[in-house]
Amino acid sequence: MLASSPRPCPAPRAASAEDWAERAVQALRDEALLTPKPALVDRRGSGAHHDLDLARMLRSAEALRLPFTQMARAAQAASPSCALRTQLAGIGRCAEQRMLMATGGANAHRGAIWALGLLVAAAALHGERGIEAERLASTAAAIARHPDRDAADTDSHGARVGRRYGVGGAKAEACDGFPHALRLGLPRLRQARARGGSEQHARLDALLAIMSRLADTCLLHRAGPLALATARHGAQSVLDLGGSGTEQGMQALRRLDHALVLLHASPGGSADLLAVTLFLDGTAPLPASA
In the chain, domain spans: 17-149+157-281
Taking the chain (290 residues) in runs of 10, the rounded mean pLDDT of each run is 49 79 97 98 97 98 98 95 97 97 97 97 88 95 94 70 82 97 97 95 98 96 95 98 98 98 97 98 50
**What angle do helix axes 17-33 and 54-63 make, rounded to 10 degrees?**
170
Amino acid letter, 113: I
Degrees to nearest 5, angle at CA 289 with 177 and 130: 25
Would you state the pLDDT for residue 3?
47
Within 10 Å of residue 40's Cβ, how many Cβ atoms? Answer: 27
Q: How far is CA 128 from CA 14, 17, 278, in A?
A: 7, 12, 18
Would you state the pLDDT for residue 161?
78
Would you state the pLDDT for residue 6?
52
pTM greater than 0.85: yes
Strand blocks (E) in the chain: none
